[in-house]
Protein backbone atom coordinates (compact mmCIF):
# COMPACT_ATOMS: atom_id res chain seq x y z
CA UNK A 1 0.00 0.00 0.00
CA UNK A 2 1.33 3.45 -0.92
CA UNK A 3 1.37 6.21 1.60
CA UNK A 4 -0.64 9.31 0.79
CA UNK A 5 1.13 12.65 0.63
CA UNK A 6 0.68 14.88 3.65
CA UNK A 7 -2.54 16.84 3.15
CA UNK A 8 -2.36 20.62 2.90
CA UNK A 9 1.31 21.03 2.19
CA UNK A 10 0.69 24.76 1.66
CA UNK A 11 0.11 25.35 5.38
CA UNK A 12 -3.32 26.90 4.80
CA UNK A 13 -6.08 26.96 7.40
CA UNK A 14 -8.66 24.91 5.50
CA UNK A 15 -12.01 24.86 7.22
CA UNK A 16 -15.25 23.93 5.56
CA UNK A 17 -18.42 25.24 7.16
CA UNK A 18 -19.70 22.56 9.54
CA UNK A 19 -22.94 21.00 8.24
CA UNK A 20 -24.82 22.06 11.38
CA UNK A 21 -23.87 25.71 10.76
CA UNK A 22 -24.82 25.91 7.09
CA UNK A 23 -28.36 27.20 7.73
CA UNK A 24 -29.66 25.77 4.46
CA UNK A 25 -33.23 26.61 3.50
CA UNK A 26 -35.47 23.52 3.73
CA UNK A 27 -36.65 21.83 0.54
CA UNK A 28 -40.44 21.73 0.27
CA UNK A 29 -42.43 19.26 -1.82
CA UNK A 30 -45.90 18.73 -3.19
CA UNK A 31 -47.80 15.55 -4.14
CA UNK A 32 -47.13 14.09 -7.59
CA UNK A 33 -50.61 13.27 -8.89
CA UNK A 34 -49.44 10.59 -11.35
CA UNK A 35 -47.45 8.05 -9.29
CA UNK A 36 -46.47 5.11 -11.46
CA UNK A 37 -46.10 7.32 -14.55
CA UNK A 38 -42.41 7.97 -14.88
CA UNK A 39 -41.49 11.43 -16.07
CA UNK A 40 -38.23 13.36 -16.02
CA UNK A 41 -37.93 16.85 -14.62
CA UNK A 42 -34.83 18.92 -15.38
CA UNK A 43 -33.49 22.00 -13.66
CA UNK A 44 -30.60 24.17 -14.83
CA UNK A 45 -29.36 26.44 -12.05
CA UNK A 46 -26.78 28.75 -13.67
CA UNK A 47 -25.96 31.02 -10.72
CA UNK A 48 -24.80 28.62 -8.01
CA UNK A 49 -22.21 30.09 -5.65
CA UNK A 50 -20.33 28.73 -2.66
CA UNK A 51 -16.97 29.63 -1.06
CA UNK A 52 -13.71 27.74 -1.54
CA UNK A 53 -12.40 26.53 1.85
CA UNK A 54 -8.80 26.87 0.58
CA UNK A 55 -8.88 30.43 -0.74
CA UNK A 56 -12.07 31.95 0.69
CA UNK A 57 -12.86 33.09 -2.87
CA UNK A 58 -16.29 32.41 -4.38
CA UNK A 59 -16.80 29.41 -6.63
CA UNK A 60 -19.42 29.68 -9.36
CA UNK A 61 -21.18 26.80 -11.10
CA UNK A 62 -24.14 25.71 -13.12
CA UNK A 63 -25.99 22.94 -11.31
CA UNK A 64 -27.93 20.56 -13.54
CA UNK A 65 -30.43 18.31 -11.85
CA UNK A 66 -32.71 15.74 -13.47
CA UNK A 67 -35.09 13.55 -11.52
CA UNK A 68 -38.05 11.22 -11.82
CA UNK A 69 -40.54 11.79 -9.02
CA UNK A 70 -42.01 8.95 -7.01
CA UNK A 71 -44.82 10.43 -4.92
CA UNK A 72 -43.47 13.94 -4.26
CA UNK A 73 -42.07 16.77 -6.43
CA UNK A 74 -39.71 19.52 -5.31
CA UNK A 75 -41.31 22.95 -5.00
CA UNK A 76 -39.28 25.43 -7.08
CA UNK A 77 -39.20 28.43 -4.76
CA UNK A 78 -37.77 26.31 -1.95
CA UNK A 79 -35.19 24.86 -4.37
CA UNK A 80 -34.10 28.39 -5.33
CA UNK A 81 -33.81 29.46 -1.70
CA UNK A 82 -32.00 26.23 -0.77
CA UNK A 83 -29.46 26.62 -3.60
CA UNK A 84 -28.93 30.31 -2.75
CA UNK A 85 -28.22 29.34 0.89
CA UNK A 86 -24.82 28.02 -0.22
CA UNK A 87 -23.54 31.55 -1.03
CA UNK A 88 -21.96 31.93 2.42
CA UNK A 89 -20.95 28.28 2.83
CA UNK A 90 -17.33 27.12 2.63
CA UNK A 91 -17.44 23.74 0.90
CA UNK A 92 -15.47 21.72 -1.64
CA UNK A 93 -17.01 21.01 -5.06
CA UNK A 94 -16.98 17.26 -4.45
CA UNK A 95 -18.82 17.64 -1.16
CA UNK A 96 -21.46 20.17 -2.15
CA UNK A 97 -22.76 18.03 -5.01
CA UNK A 98 -23.12 15.05 -2.66
CA UNK A 99 -24.84 17.24 -0.04
CA UNK A 100 -27.37 18.54 -2.57
CA UNK A 101 -28.03 14.97 -3.75
CA UNK A 102 -28.57 13.70 -0.19
CA UNK A 103 -30.86 16.60 0.77
CA UNK A 104 -32.86 16.24 -2.45
CA UNK A 105 -33.37 12.49 -1.95
CA UNK A 106 -34.30 13.00 1.71
CA UNK A 107 -36.87 15.66 0.75
CA UNK A 108 -38.77 13.93 -2.06
CA UNK A 109 -37.68 10.26 -2.27
CA UNK A 110 -37.47 10.26 -6.10
CA UNK A 111 -37.26 7.19 -8.32
CA UNK A 112 -33.95 8.53 -9.60
CA UNK A 113 -31.91 11.70 -9.67
CA UNK A 114 -28.76 12.82 -11.46
CA UNK A 115 -26.90 15.96 -10.48
CA UNK A 116 -23.96 17.71 -12.08
CA UNK A 117 -21.98 20.69 -10.85
CA UNK A 118 -20.26 22.39 -13.78
CA UNK A 119 -17.87 24.76 -11.99
CA UNK A 120 -16.32 27.78 -13.69
CA UNK A 121 -12.65 27.69 -14.62
CA UNK A 122 -10.47 28.74 -11.71
CA UNK A 123 -6.68 28.85 -11.85
CA UNK A 124 -6.70 27.18 -15.29
CA UNK A 125 -8.66 24.14 -14.02
CA UNK A 126 -12.22 23.23 -15.01
CA UNK A 127 -14.08 20.99 -12.56
CA UNK A 128 -17.26 19.02 -13.17
CA UNK A 129 -18.69 16.82 -10.42
CA UNK A 130 -21.52 14.33 -11.00
CA UNK A 131 -23.50 12.12 -8.64
CA UNK A 132 -26.61 10.01 -9.00
CA UNK A 133 -29.18 8.03 -7.02
CA UNK A 134 -31.64 5.30 -8.01
CA UNK A 135 -34.36 4.12 -5.64
CA UNK A 136 -34.18 0.42 -4.80
The answer to whether residue 59 is catalytic is yes
Strand, helix or coil for residue 4? coil
Quickly count: other Cβ atoms within 10 Å of residue 119's Cβ. Answer: 20
Query: Which member of 50, 59, 73, 108 is catalytic?
Result: 59
Query: Which member of 52, 103, 109, 118 is catalytic?
Result: 52
| Dihedral in degrees, nearest 10, Cα atoms 51, 52, 58, 62 | -90
> How many angstroms separate the CA atoms of 44 and 16, rounded?
26
The residues carrying an active-site annotation are 52, 59
Amino acid sequence: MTELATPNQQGLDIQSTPRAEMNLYPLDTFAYEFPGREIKIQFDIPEFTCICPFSDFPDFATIRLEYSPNERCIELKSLKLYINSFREVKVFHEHVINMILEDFVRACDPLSVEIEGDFNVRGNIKTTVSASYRRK
